[in-house]
Amino acid sequence: MPIRYLTADAVRDAEHAAGDLLANGTLMRRASHGVAQVVIDELRRTGGCYGRQVGIVVGAGDNGGDALYAGAALSRRGVACTAVLLAPDRAHRAGLAAFGRAGGRTVETLAGGLDVVIDGVVGIGGHGPLRPAAAEVFGQLTAPADGGPVVVAVDIPSGVDADTGQVHDPAVRATVTVTFGAPRNAHLLAATQCGRTVTVDIGIDPTGTDGDTLSSLTDDEVAALWPVPAPADDKYSQGVVGVIAGSARYPGAAILATGAAVSATSGMTRYVGTAADDVVSHFPEVVAARSLADAGRVQAWAVGPGIGTDDDALELLRDILSTDLPVLVDADGLTLVARHPELVDRRAPTLLTPHAGEFARLTGDELGPDRLAAVRDLARRWGVSVLLKGRITLVADPDGAVLGNDAGSSWAATAGAGDVLSGIAGSLLAAGLTPARAGAAAARVHAHAAELAARDAPIGASDLLAAVRPAIRALRRGHPTSATRVP
């Protein structure tokens, strides 16, 4: 099953549906136990629990209560726990009492030399940046990479919006975020701010929530989706993808997009364009033509990278989009669509793959902090699927469902990497995957390939392309790279 992310309202609904478990404090006790266990695991990584020092930053409400109960559990394990109460009059009374009984101490400010700091300031109900008092406490901490404490956030790092993933300034940057029942939207949308996410089962059932969905595919699901030849398959039945990219003057986009399509599946790749000679010199298995009339039949098209934006390119794109085949549109093709949105008023599956700048051209507005709402809105208004590129890639369908992928790194932020993604996703469209699944699966393999190619050194798109096939192999054999971290 895909990993499902919840809005704050969906979480509250699931908690209220738990009835007595919420009313009698069972959910909070389970949540605080989960937080304490994560802290214990972090301490054990570096020598054990007894005598170690943990600081807790406590806000008002249940989030602070979770943190205080966790502090009580840690104190009983021999951990020296201190807590800064940002709102003493509104601190969770029962949690504060339990913390004191277990030997925890309240202080005015956190001391140096702490091993772990627990962020219990605000949870999913928080909005906006850290308030000055909290910002001052966290501003005094040394970053973990520089020898400072590990930061464990309760539910959501404070200063991060639970639904949109917007990271306000200032906000807590967590090493680990502990959440309950199911991950929240922000754990994907603001993955870099949340760090590693641990989901603790506290006995709530989030499966009955309705409305728009945000999900991500697991590595196993992507591996299962990936097209491989069956005993009766031939080169045609596996999917024939047509690629229109590049030019004689700028053949790079053609080589990258076509090469990615060849690497991604075992069917057939056709190329149409003036860079035909360059493409075939790199990939002799490609069937190349210079004009659409000579292209032959395909099951899907990937069009746009490097084709230009003149009248000839516009007419070519118009011809492609007038077919009843699935079409992926990228790069220069998106510039043309921005000028002529009527081109994508079609019944056949359509996948647009913009980066932030291209998205702004399509919509006429800057992307803004709520990427999820923006990509949903465009997909709904235009009746197409939209893959919004970035460290966190989002693929929205017109019905509001969104599949996301955290690349785990930004190694793929290099010129030409988008051409590689287009070739991979286009080949998956030709193999019969839906636009959303083709886009999400392609993004996952693209991220794998970037990690394999980089190995902590800068890469170019050619390196990325060379790693596509090894990335698919590793995925299908169940050996994921660090690019596939999931909550």
119 labeled part of a ligand binding site: yes
253 labeled part of a ligand binding site: yes
Tokens of 196: 């590693």
390 labeled part of a ligand binding site: yes
377 labeled part of a ligand binding site: no
357 labeled part of a ligand binding site: no
Nearest one of 362, 249, 363, 367 to 308, comparing CA atoms = 249
24 labeled part of a ligand binding site: no
183 labeled part of a ligand binding site: no
139 labeled part of a ligand binding site: no
148 labeled part of a ligand binding site: no
Phi, psi of 38 (to 5 degrees): -65, -40
Strand order across the 287-289 sheet:
3-5, 214-216, 402-406, 392-396, 385-388, 350-352, 327-329, 300-303, 240-244, 268-272, 287-289
127 labeled part of a ligand binding site: yes
393 labeled part of a ligand binding site: yes
Strand order across the 53-58 sheet:
105-107, 80-85, 53-58, 116-120, 150-154, 176-180, 196-200
Tokens of 184: 């929240």
Cα dihedral sign for 328, 485, 468, 390? positive
63 labeled part of a ligand binding site: yes
Cα distance between residue 176 and residue 74, in whole Å? 17
Structure-token match 């932020």, residue found: 413
55 labeled part of a ligand binding site: no
Contact (Cβ atoms closer than 8 angstroms) between residue 348 and residue 324? yes
124 labeled part of a ligand binding site: yes
Structure-token match 């996952």, residue found: 444
What is each CA distance from 258 to 317, 386, 423, 424, in whole angstroms?
Answer: 17, 21, 6, 9
147 labeled part of a ligand binding site: no
273 labeled part of a ligand binding site: no
469 labeled part of a ligand binding site: no
126 labeled part of a ligand binding site: yes
64 labeled part of a ligand binding site: yes
Nearest one of 259, 238, 241 to 468, comparing CA atoms = 259
255 labeled part of a ligand binding site: no
Phi, psi of 15 (to 5 degrees): -65, -45
113 labeled part of a ligand binding site: no
Which residues contribute to the annotated binding site?
62-66, 119, 123-129, 155, 158, 253, 306, 355, 389-393, 418-419
Which residues contribute to the annotated binding site for AMP?
389-393, 418
Which residues contribute to the annotated binding site for (6S)-NADPHX?
62-66, 123-129, 155, 253, 306, 355, 419
Which residues contribute to the annotated binding site for K(+)?
63, 119, 158
